[in-house]
Structure 1
Amino acid sequence: MNLITICAVLLLFIGYHEFVVDGVAVEIDLRLTDKQKKIMDKFKQIMIPKLPHNYMKEEIYLVRWLRATDFDLKKSEEFLLQNLKWRKQQKMDVIHKEDWSDMQHDFPYYIDVVDKKGQPVITAISRDWDIRNAIVTGRIRRVLRYLDKAMDEANGLVRTFQLEGQNVTQFILILHMGNFNLFQHGCPRCITSILEFVESYENHFPGTADRILLVNTPPAFEPIAQLVREAMTPSTREALKIYGNEPKVWKKLLLDLIDADQLTPEFGGTKSEKPS
């Protein structure tokens, strides 16, 4: 093996290693075997005439539905068609034009920062979310729709970043669980609602979260966490990481992923204000 060949092999290895470590690059999402590429080509031929938006016709969008079904062409077609039907029924194309001021006040989440790789980051704090109250006051369906809006917003940001030339395909979700309690968050109907959100994510936004991090989580959440894990697909289960009430551990983790000036003090950062 001559010197040029050795250098080429090393460069390929380094490049591959960087993609695997990065985990968010467009290239790794679109790295397909010959068999998978043929399935992708067939999938595009079948689906593109049926897709209402240009972004849906891109391989980076289509591949998520193939990966969710382990490249089963028929299942992928049915899966995506079901999602299109759901989006139409739920009027997802105009969901961001609706007045969400009541939800933003009572169930705030924030999606105004990025991690060190440029991925959008959603943060929320359990003390701000009284799920039982939403159930008692008849607002739980609206809360679940609001969560669908959040997932759609995160995916929209990813697409915006891609158009700007950033190598991003996923987002991060971080939930601060420090004020979790069984009365407000762990009642039977609360658990059902949490599982409904997981189901909606899996059905309509599969594989879009790079990491789902629950931090400062009390022991009382563990039985619910087990139910949540069982409701997730293997890839989502792998993305889910739950950290207990050991701030030194999870704050270090967050600061390894996200600059301190992008996180508020609750999450171990130095950001002083949240958006209005």
Structure 2
Amino acid sequence: MFRRKNSSHNHHENDSLPSESKINDLKVAMGPLYERSLKYCDDACLRRYLEARNWNTEKAKKMLEESLKWRIDYKPEGIRWEEVAIEGETGKAYRANFHDRDGRSVLILRPAMQNSASLENNIRHLVYLIENAILNLPEGQEQMSWLIDFTGWSLSTSVPIKSAKDTVNILQNHYPERLAMAFLYNPPRIFEAFWKIVKYFLDAKTFQKVKFVYPKNKDSVELMQSFFDQDNLPTEFGGKAKLKYDHDEFSKQMVLDDLKALSLWGLDQKVEKISQHAVTKHSGAEVAPESIALPAS
């Protein structure tokens, strides 16, 4: 692990000058940006889009412009927990209370716990969690890891193909280079039929980041252990920790995180004071800032 990190560090040092030049080229190509678009397009962001398009400035520009348009229309940074909390009641997807070995945020997905037939609400809930995972990254870290638990999964509980396709498109096109690795833990054989369709939606880079892990496959288990401390990793993924999702406790944390997001994006200028009651006393989907007025995009 130590050698791997040093090698990466030296690689970035050697490439720093050409990459900085490419970032400056992309800044010029994008032209003037304002408000949240300007805040979104920092140097780290431009680097991610350039990396996603193999440092081709024109392709990165097109990709970034499409993302900015999507963000203006969809307003992912403006989604509040109260709007999506009902989707998370079963614990089908949430941010873990631990990081991986490199300090990345971890999203845990349990598709068998699906509780909604609404494609739009499912996507909105996931986008909220992606934004929240990014919000909780330590300084210097830009990626997240996904852990997908297939306990109880069947074709009857699987998400529709369209939902899977939309999820992949959003992750690839609007959150480039945000995914470090997605571990699919012990999927049943019947999942192979579903996977044969979904994998065609993945670009080459994303495809390489999806790893199947089987408890009896030594290589896949060792790869997963290289990313996670066994004491933090839940038993459902071969670790030692007990996986317990408490919706009320998670909701409390999301309310606090919403305050951080509001401040980060400058949305708190028109936000009325959130009462302490909203943070300390709530139930399920009713967790919310009492009155939030978001400025028009």
Matched, 1:62 2:46: yes
Q: What's the CA shift for 1:63?
A: 0.8
Task: Give the 3 Å change call, closer, same or farther, for CA 17–258 of structure 1 in structure 2.
Answer: closer
Q: What is the CA–CA distance in structure 2 between the aligned matches of 1:71 and 1:141, rounded to whole Å?
A: 33
Task: Give the 3 Å change call, closer, same or farther, for CA 76–52 of structure 1 in structure 2.
Answer: farther
C-alpha contact 2:214 2:221 (8 A) present in aligned 1 = no
C-alpha contact 2:235 2:241 (8 A) present in aligned 1 = yes
After the TM superposition, list the runs of 4 or more consecutive aligned residues in structure 1 that deviate by more than 4 angstroms.
27-31, 33-36, 247-253
**1:219-239 CA distances to partner (integer Å, 9 max, x unpaired)?**
111122222222111111111
Matched, 1:224 2:194: yes
Structure 1 gaps, min length 5: 1-14
**1:29-72 CA distances to partner (integer Å, 9 max, x unpaired)?**
68637554432211123437315346534322111111222222
**What is the match of residue 274 of structure 1?**
245
TM-score by length of 1: 0.76
Task: Give the 3 Å change call, closer, same or farther, for CA 99–222 of structure 1 in structure 2.
Answer: same
AA matched with 1:38: S
C-alpha contact 1:115 1:121 (8 A) present in aligned 2 = yes
Which of 63, 78, 81 lines up with 1:79 in the alignment? 63
AA matched with 1:42: D
SS in 2 for 1:43: helix
**What is the match of residue 101 of structure 1?**
85
**What is the match of residue 47 of structure 1?**
30
**What is the match of residue 125 of structure 2?**
146
Q: What's the CA shift for 1:19?
A: 3.6
Q: What is the CA–CA distance in structure 2 between the aligned matches of 1:146 and 1:93, rounded to whole Å?
A: 12
SS in 2 for 1:67: helix
Q: What's the CA shift for 1:216?
A: 1.0
Matched, 1:123 2:96: no
Q: Which has the higher helix share?
A: 1
Which of 142, 166, 174 lines up with 1:169 in the alignment? 142
Please provide the CA RMSD for this pair.
2.9
Q: Which deviates more from structure 2 when the two are superposed, residues 53-62 or residues 198-207? A: 53-62
**What is the match of residue 111 of structure 1?**
96
Q: What is the CA–CA distance in structure 1 between the aligned matches of 2:83 and 2:150, rounded to whole Å?
A: 27
Q: What is the CA–CA distance in structure 2 between the aligned matches of 1:199 and 1:38, rounded to whole Å?
A: 29
**1:185-229 CA distances to partner (integer Å, 9 max, x unpaired)?**
16xxx1221111111111111121110110111111112222222
Structure 2 gaps, min length 5: 250-297
Matched, 1:239 2:238: no
Q: What's the CA shift for 1:75?
A: 2.1
Once the two structures are aligned, what percentage of the paired residues are identical? 20
Q: Report the number of matched residues.
A: 244
Q: Which deviates more from structure 2 when the two are superposed, residues 104-113 or residues 47-56? A: 47-56
AA matched with 1:142: N
C-alpha contact 1:30 1:63 (8 A) present in aligned 2 = no
Which of 208, 214, 224 lines up with 2:178 in the alignment? 208
SS in 1 for 2:190: helix
